[in-house]
C-alpha cells in the first residue's frame, strides 16, 4: 500500500510540475493546486495515521496524532486563499495584457 501511495504522490507532483511549465494561466493554477494536494497527502502519510484509534488523549492507551491533521487543515485554508489570489491576479493580467500567457507576451512562432 505504501508503494501505491508513493507512486500516486509522484504522479500528482509530476503532473503539477508539468502544468506549471505550460506558461498559460489556467494550467499554472491547476498545477499549483495539484502540488498542494500532493503536499497535503504527503503530510498525512508522514503522520502515520492509524484506523480505529481515538483522537482524544486519555480515552485509550493509544491515540491519534493531531499535528498532521492540524497542519493539513491549515495548508488547505492557505492553499484556498493563494488560489483565489492567483485567480484574481490572472484575471487582472488578462484584462491588462489581453492574453493568458503568464509573462504577458505571446511566444513567437
Whether 103 is covered by a domain: the verdict is: no
Whether 105 is covered by a domain: the verdict is: no
Whether 20 is covered by a domain: the verdict is: yes
Whether 81 is covered by a domain: the verdict is: yes
Rg from Cα positions in the chain: 19
Cell numbers describing residue 26 = 489556467
Whether 80 is covered by a domain: the verdict is: yes
Domains identified in the chain, total number: 1
- For residue 78, what are the domain limits? 2-50+63-97
Whether 33 is covered by a domain: the verdict is: yes
Helix (H) or strand (E) holding 43: helix 25-46
Whether 58 is covered by a domain: the verdict is: no
CATH code at position 6: 1.10.287
Question: What is the model's pTM?
Answer: 0.79
Instruction: Provide the CB-side half-sphere exposure for 105 (13 A, CA).
Output: 3
20-54 tens-digit pLDDT: 998 888 999 999 999 999 999 998 888 776 677 77
Whether 109 is covered by a domain: the verdict is: no
70-85 tens-digit pLDDT: 899 999 999 999 999 9
Amino acid at each position: 500500500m505504501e508503494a501505491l501511495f508513493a507512486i500516486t504522490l509522484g504522479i500528482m507532483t509530476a503532473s503539477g510540475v508539468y502544468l506549471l511549465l505550460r506558461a498559460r494561466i489556467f494550467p499554472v493554477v491547476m498545477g499549483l493546486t495539484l502540488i498542494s494536494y500532493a503536499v497535503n497527502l504527503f503530510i498525512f502519510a508522514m503522520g502515520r495515521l492509524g484506523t480505529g484509534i481515538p483522537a482524544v488523549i486519555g480515552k485509550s492507551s493509544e491515540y491519534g496524532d493531531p499535528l498532521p491533521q492540524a497542519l493539513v487543515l491549515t495548508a488547505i485554508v492557505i492553499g484556498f486563499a493563494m488560489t483565489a489570489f492567483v485567480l484574481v491576479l490572472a484575471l487582472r493580467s488578462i484584462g491588462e495584457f489581453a492574453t493568458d500567457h503568464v509573462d504577458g507576451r505571446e511566444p513567437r512562432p
